[in-house]
Amino acid sequence: MSHTLGARQAQKQKTRRALLDAALGLLEEQSLSSLGLREVTRAVGVAPTAFYRHFRSVEDLGVALVEEALGSLHPMIRTIVSTTGDGDERVARAVELIAGHVDAYPAHVRFIARERHGGVRVVRGAIREQLALFAGEVRDALASDPVSLGWEPEDLLMLAQLYVDQMLVTASALLEAVGDGAGERERVVRDAVRRMRLIGIGRAHWVGGG
Protein backbone atom coordinates (compact mmCIF):
# COMPACT_ATOMS: atom_id res chain seq x y z
CA MET A 1 0.00 0.00 0.00
CA SER A 2 2.85 2.39 0.72
CA HIS A 3 5.96 1.48 -1.28
CA THR A 4 7.73 4.79 -1.66
CA LEU A 5 4.82 7.08 -2.46
CA GLY A 6 4.73 7.34 -6.28
CA ALA A 7 6.04 10.38 -8.07
CA ARG A 8 2.43 11.45 -8.46
CA GLN A 9 1.65 11.65 -4.76
CA ALA A 10 5.07 13.11 -4.12
CA GLN A 11 4.42 16.11 -6.34
CA LYS A 12 1.03 16.60 -4.78
CA GLN A 13 2.49 16.63 -1.29
CA LYS A 14 5.06 19.11 -2.48
CA THR A 15 2.41 21.54 -3.72
CA ARG A 16 0.42 21.01 -0.57
CA ARG A 17 3.43 21.89 1.54
CA ALA A 18 4.04 24.96 -0.58
CA LEU A 19 0.45 26.07 0.00
CA LEU A 20 0.71 25.51 3.74
CA ASP A 21 4.01 27.35 3.96
CA ALA A 22 2.81 30.25 1.86
CA ALA A 23 -0.32 30.55 3.99
CA LEU A 24 1.75 30.45 7.16
CA GLY A 25 3.91 33.22 5.80
CA LEU A 26 0.98 35.40 4.85
CA LEU A 27 -0.61 34.81 8.25
CA GLU A 28 2.26 36.53 10.00
CA GLU A 29 0.64 39.83 9.17
CA GLN A 30 -3.06 39.06 8.98
CA SER A 31 -5.55 36.61 10.35
CA LEU A 32 -7.07 33.55 8.79
CA SER A 33 -10.51 35.00 8.27
CA SER A 34 -9.04 37.61 5.93
CA LEU A 35 -6.72 35.25 4.08
CA GLY A 36 -7.81 34.73 0.51
CA LEU A 37 -7.52 31.56 -1.47
CA ARG A 38 -6.12 33.46 -4.43
CA GLU A 39 -3.59 35.18 -2.21
CA VAL A 40 -2.17 31.83 -1.22
CA THR A 41 -2.00 30.36 -4.70
CA ARG A 42 -0.46 33.56 -6.01
CA ALA A 43 2.30 33.33 -3.42
CA VAL A 44 3.02 29.75 -4.41
CA GLY A 45 2.82 30.41 -8.13
CA VAL A 46 -0.01 28.07 -9.07
CA ALA A 47 -3.44 28.72 -10.51
CA PRO A 48 -6.22 29.60 -8.04
CA THR A 49 -8.16 26.50 -8.97
CA ALA A 50 -5.27 24.27 -7.98
CA PHE A 51 -6.08 25.11 -4.38
CA TYR A 52 -9.19 22.97 -4.50
CA ARG A 53 -7.15 19.87 -5.28
CA HIS A 54 -5.73 20.11 -1.77
CA PHE A 55 -8.23 21.89 0.45
CA ARG A 56 -11.93 22.47 0.27
CA SER A 57 -11.57 26.01 1.59
CA VAL A 58 -9.24 28.30 3.48
CA GLU A 59 -10.85 27.18 6.73
CA ASP A 60 -9.88 23.66 5.81
CA LEU A 61 -6.30 24.72 5.32
CA GLY A 62 -6.48 26.39 8.70
CA VAL A 63 -7.43 23.15 10.38
CA ALA A 64 -4.53 21.43 8.65
CA LEU A 65 -2.22 24.11 9.99
CA VAL A 66 -3.52 23.56 13.51
CA GLU A 67 -2.79 19.87 13.31
CA GLU A 68 0.65 20.56 11.96
CA ALA A 69 1.45 23.23 14.53
CA LEU A 70 0.08 21.48 17.61
CA GLY A 71 0.20 17.83 16.63
CA SER A 72 3.96 18.00 16.38
CA LEU A 73 4.09 19.49 19.86
CA HIS A 74 3.05 16.42 21.79
CA PRO A 75 6.59 15.03 21.93
CA MET A 76 7.78 18.28 23.46
CA ILE A 77 5.04 18.19 26.08
CA ARG A 78 6.07 14.71 27.03
CA THR A 79 9.71 15.74 27.22
CA ILE A 80 8.92 18.64 29.53
CA VAL A 81 6.62 16.58 31.64
CA SER A 82 8.94 13.62 32.06
CA THR A 83 11.99 15.71 32.86
CA THR A 84 13.42 14.79 36.23
CA GLY A 85 15.24 17.01 38.67
CA ASP A 86 14.64 19.73 41.18
CA GLY A 87 11.56 21.92 40.72
CA ASP A 88 13.42 25.05 39.66
CA GLU A 89 15.58 23.08 37.26
CA ARG A 90 12.52 21.62 35.63
CA VAL A 91 10.94 25.02 35.21
CA ALA A 92 14.08 26.46 33.66
CA ARG A 93 14.38 23.46 31.36
CA ALA A 94 10.76 23.76 30.30
CA VAL A 95 11.00 27.46 29.52
CA GLU A 96 14.19 26.84 27.53
CA LEU A 97 12.42 24.16 25.55
CA ILE A 98 9.52 26.48 24.83
CA ALA A 99 11.86 29.28 23.80
CA GLY A 100 13.66 26.89 21.48
CA HIS A 101 10.41 25.89 19.87
CA VAL A 102 9.39 29.50 19.37
CA ASP A 103 12.72 30.18 17.69
CA ALA A 104 12.37 27.14 15.46
CA TYR A 105 8.74 27.61 14.43
CA PRO A 106 7.75 31.22 15.03
CA ALA A 107 5.08 31.26 12.34
CA HIS A 108 3.38 28.20 13.80
CA VAL A 109 3.34 29.72 17.26
CA ARG A 110 2.01 33.03 15.99
CA PHE A 111 -0.69 31.22 14.08
CA ILE A 112 -1.90 29.36 17.14
CA ALA A 113 -1.82 32.42 19.38
CA ARG A 114 -3.73 34.40 16.78
CA GLU A 115 -6.34 31.86 15.80
CA ARG A 116 -7.01 30.46 19.25
CA HIS A 117 -9.55 33.21 19.70
CA GLY A 118 -9.72 34.08 16.01
CA GLY A 119 -12.66 34.53 13.74
CA VAL A 120 -12.92 31.02 12.30
CA ARG A 121 -15.03 28.69 14.39
CA VAL A 122 -13.73 25.35 13.15
CA VAL A 123 -10.13 26.45 13.65
CA ARG A 124 -10.87 27.62 17.18
CA GLY A 125 -12.44 24.25 17.82
CA ALA A 126 -9.45 22.36 16.46
CA ILE A 127 -7.08 24.36 18.65
CA ARG A 128 -9.25 23.94 21.71
CA GLU A 129 -9.32 20.20 21.11
CA GLN A 130 -5.54 19.92 20.84
CA LEU A 131 -5.02 22.05 23.94
CA ALA A 132 -7.42 19.82 25.84
CA LEU A 133 -5.28 16.87 24.84
CA PHE A 134 -2.21 18.68 26.14
CA ALA A 135 -3.93 19.45 29.42
CA GLY A 136 -4.86 15.79 29.73
CA GLU A 137 -1.28 14.68 29.24
CA VAL A 138 0.00 17.19 31.75
CA ARG A 139 -2.65 16.15 34.26
CA ASP A 140 -1.71 12.50 33.93
CA ALA A 141 1.90 13.40 34.52
CA LEU A 142 1.00 15.50 37.54
CA ALA A 143 -1.13 12.69 38.91
CA SER A 144 1.81 10.30 39.02
CA ASP A 145 3.84 12.64 41.19
CA PRO A 146 3.96 12.25 44.98
CA VAL A 147 3.36 15.99 45.39
CA SER A 148 -0.18 15.46 44.10
CA LEU A 149 -1.17 12.94 46.73
CA GLY A 150 -4.00 14.80 48.41
CA TRP A 151 -5.27 16.36 45.17
CA GLU A 152 -8.69 15.88 43.74
CA PRO A 153 -8.85 14.99 40.04
CA GLU A 154 -10.69 18.21 39.26
CA ASP A 155 -7.97 20.32 40.79
CA LEU A 156 -5.28 18.42 38.94
CA LEU A 157 -6.90 19.24 35.63
CA MET A 158 -7.24 22.86 36.68
CA LEU A 159 -3.52 23.02 37.41
CA ALA A 160 -2.69 21.28 34.15
CA GLN A 161 -4.74 23.84 32.22
CA LEU A 162 -2.98 26.61 34.08
CA TYR A 163 0.36 25.19 32.97
CA VAL A 164 -0.78 24.84 29.36
CA ASP A 165 -2.08 28.40 29.37
CA GLN A 166 1.20 29.62 30.77
CA MET A 167 3.02 27.78 28.01
CA LEU A 168 1.02 29.70 25.43
CA VAL A 169 1.37 33.02 27.22
CA THR A 170 5.12 32.51 27.40
CA ALA A 171 5.38 31.51 23.77
CA SER A 172 3.40 34.50 22.61
CA ALA A 173 5.36 36.88 24.83
CA LEU A 174 8.59 35.52 23.37
CA LEU A 175 7.25 36.10 19.91
CA GLU A 176 6.55 39.73 20.65
CA ALA A 177 9.96 40.09 22.22
CA VAL A 178 11.99 39.19 19.13
CA GLY A 179 11.26 42.58 17.61
CA ASP A 180 12.50 44.56 20.59
CA GLY A 181 16.08 44.51 21.80
CA ALA A 182 18.04 41.37 22.58
CA GLY A 183 17.80 41.97 26.32
CA GLU A 184 14.04 41.93 26.07
CA ARG A 185 14.04 38.26 25.24
CA GLU A 186 15.99 37.36 28.37
CA ARG A 187 13.66 39.49 30.44
CA VAL A 188 10.68 37.58 29.09
CA VAL A 189 12.37 34.26 29.82
CA ARG A 190 13.18 35.32 33.38
CA ASP A 191 9.61 36.49 33.89
CA ALA A 192 8.23 33.24 32.54
CA VAL A 193 10.46 31.24 34.86
CA ARG A 194 9.29 33.22 37.86
CA ARG A 195 5.65 32.87 36.93
CA MET A 196 6.06 29.12 36.65
CA ARG A 197 7.95 29.04 39.92
CA LEU A 198 5.22 30.95 41.68
CA ILE A 199 2.67 28.49 40.38
CA GLY A 200 4.89 25.65 41.54
CA ILE A 201 5.02 27.16 45.02
CA GLY A 202 1.26 27.48 45.04
CA ARG A 203 1.07 23.86 44.05
CA ALA A 204 3.37 22.75 46.85
CA HIS A 205 1.27 24.49 49.51
CA TRP A 206 -2.12 23.75 48.00
CA VAL A 207 -4.87 22.54 50.27
CA GLY A 208 -7.92 21.02 48.62
CA GLY A 209 -11.52 21.49 49.68
CA GLY A 210 -12.02 25.05 50.93
* Residue 9 binding target from DNA, its own copies, none, CB below 5 to 8 Å by type: DNA
Angle between helices 87-104 and 182-204 (to 10 degrees): 140
For residue 18, the minimal CB distance to DNA (Å) is: 8
* Residue 116 binding target from DNA, its own copies, none, CB below 5 to 8 Å by type: its own copies
Residue 162 sits in the site that holds its own copies (CB under 8 A): yes
Query: Which residues make Cβ contacts (< 8 Å) with residue 68, sequence separation at least 6?
Result: 20, 108
Q: Which is nearer to its own copies, 14 or 38 (CB)?
A: 38
Per CB under 7 A, contacts with DNA among 52-81 are: 52-54, 57-58
> Can you spell out the DSSP letters for 38-61?
HHHHHHHTS-GGGGGGT-SSHHHH
User: Distances in Å between the alpha carbon of 52 and those of 6, 61, 64?
Assistant: 21, 10, 14
Count residues binding its own copies (CB under 8 A): 40
Residue of 160, 161, 154, 155 whose CA lies nearest to 139: 160
Could you tell me if 171 and 116 are in contact, meaning their C-beta atoms sit under 8 angstroms apart?
no
Q: Which of 25, 28, 50, 152 binds DNA (CB under 7 A)?
A: 50
Residue 86 sits in the site that holds its own copies (CB under 8 A): no
Q: Which of 38, 78, 190, 194 binds DNA (CB under 7 A)?
A: 38
For residue 8, the minimal CB distance to DNA (Å) is: 3
Residue 139 sits in the site that holds its own copies (CB under 8 A): no
